[in-house]
Structure 1
Amino acid sequence: MARHEGCDQPMVNDCLNQLANFPLEIINTAVSGHNTADLLARLDQEILSQAQVDFICILIGTNDLASHKQIHLPTFEANLKQIIKKLARIYEPKQITLISPPPVDESKQRHRTNRRIREYSTCMKQIAFQENCRFIDLYKTFTENPKPTEELLIGSLNDGLHFGKAGYELLAQTILEALGSFGN
């Protein structure tokens, strides 16, 4: 959510604004390389102190599951629950959407596997259900897309993890679909 990929702003913001048929005001507080512990540490000051918004999307987990800096699943689960608990002081659960990590191209990515991504995504889905939040399975969205997953994962780093325009367009489209069902 934080990568610019050649844009003047985070590429996801650019794609959301291009694809939306309604005006959007986007506050993107994403920080590259952060995990759930980092988000929890900065949540009060950098996110909850902002003006209240209509919809919160949290794409997290990719760094939690990385073998070289792994936050183990029970701690990941506890961190996610704490994040939601803090957000729930201000927001209704249906305003909060957890977004799973996308798949990786394992031929290029050394520290992440799709098996582990599915494990963490399953955990996220269960927590979203338990807490009455929304959930976007980005892994499933990427792998079920007609474009090959490897093509969606090509970004300026071309490391099998950080995706480019095609991946951000798919992410933005998926978020907009969730926004469209916001009243449901």
Structure 2
Amino acid sequence: MSHSPTQSTSFLHPTSPHPNVYPQLILLGDSITQLSTLTLTARLSEWYSRRLDVINRGFSGYTAPMGHEVLQQFFPADSVPSQTVPRVQLMTIFFGANDACVPGHPQHVPLQRYIASLKDMICHPALKLHDTQVILITPPPVDEYQLGGRDRTAEHTAKYAHAALQVGRECNLPVLDLWTVFMRRAGWTEGSTSALAGSKDAPRSEVLGELLEDGLHLATEGYEVVFCELVKVIEQELPEQTPKRLPMVFPDWKDKLGIQP
């Protein structure tokens, strides 16, 4: 999905005809994204200051099929980057927490449809038009002790996290495997046959209690982990997309005044 700039995308270069249109990083997801305005969104905005506009497009309660539907509405396929239409340079796709509701719940999305919807978003013509680099984020684990009800289970959510990771591998995309990151912090090891942390079949996890605010949504500490891990993914797999490798949209003040270093 990642493409190298060509002459057809010369608007990316600071000497292009439209050098003062900020490229964008869009955070697309459900309520976990929507509620990140003061945490993840703010940290990324600071990190990419003067280089990318960070746009929060989180939709509370949405599933991956709903995400694909709304993507086509706010990101139409004919939106050619121009002097007035900024290029969407990066996009995170972060769905699955609602899709993973147990069958019978109104938000439940069958696993294969969830997978297909992720691929539909990744392959959307608008993203190809903008040469958008996608980063997938898997749904985090849930904590059944905090949730109380049985709408979501640790085991069922794990299937959707693993599916999102597999989609990323099949599509050759960088993936922030948030499920594994949280679970390892909670003491889980790959290949373990023990009950999953977060399940009521396992002892209550103090770590998940700190990372999750209510068993589903992230606490401030959880968002801090997402930011640090996302930065790590970008630095390791997309070094050309780090702030130090991206030009400022407007010149430094010393350049404006002609001051030599």
Q: 1:35·1:63 contact (CA, 8 Å) conserved in 2?
A: yes
User: Any unmatched runs of 5+ in structure 2?
Assistant: 1-32, 80-84, 187-205, 241-261
Instruction: Give 1:34 shift.
Output: 0.6
- Could you list the per-position Cα deviations for residues 27-52 of structure 1 after superposition, in whole angstroms to 9, with x for gaps in the alignment? 11111111111111111221355632
Tell me the matched-pair count.
173
Question: Which of 145, 150, 173 is the aligned partner of 2:228?
Answer: 173
1:42 maps to 2:60: no
Instruction: Give 1:108 shift.
Output: 2.1
**Aligned partners of 1:133, 1:108: CA distance in 2, in Å?**
33
Q: 1:15·1:168 contact (CA, 8 Å) conserved in 2?
A: no
User: Any unmatched runs of 5+ in structure 1?
Assistant: none
Q: 1:42 to 1:28 in 2, by over 3 A?
A: same
Question: Corresponding residue for 1:78?
Answer: 116
TM-score (norm 1): 0.83
TM-score (norm 2): 0.60
**Aligned partners of 1:131, 1:88: CA distance in 2, in Å?**
14
Question: Corresponding residue for 1:151?
Answer: 210
Q: Identical aligned pairs, as a percentage?
A: 27
- Could you list the per-position Cα deviations for residues 67-119 of structure 1 after superposition, in whole angstroms to 9, with x for gaps in the alignment? 222100111111111111105523557x2111011111111222211211211
Counterpart amino acid of residue 162 in structure 1: H
Query: Which of 1 and 2 has higher RCO (CA within 8 Å, sep 6+)?
Result: 1
Larger Rg: 2
Instruction: Give 1:17 shift.
Output: 4.1
Give structure 1 regions of 4+ aligned residues with deviation exceeding 6 angstroms.
none
CA RMSD of aligned residues (A): 2.2
Question: Which of 43, 63, 66 is the aligned partner of 2:101?
Answer: 66
Q: 1:170 to 1:134 in 2, by over 3 A?
A: same
**Aligned partners of 1:81, 1:17: CA distance in 2, in Å?**
27
Instruction: Give 1:10 shift.
Output: 4.6
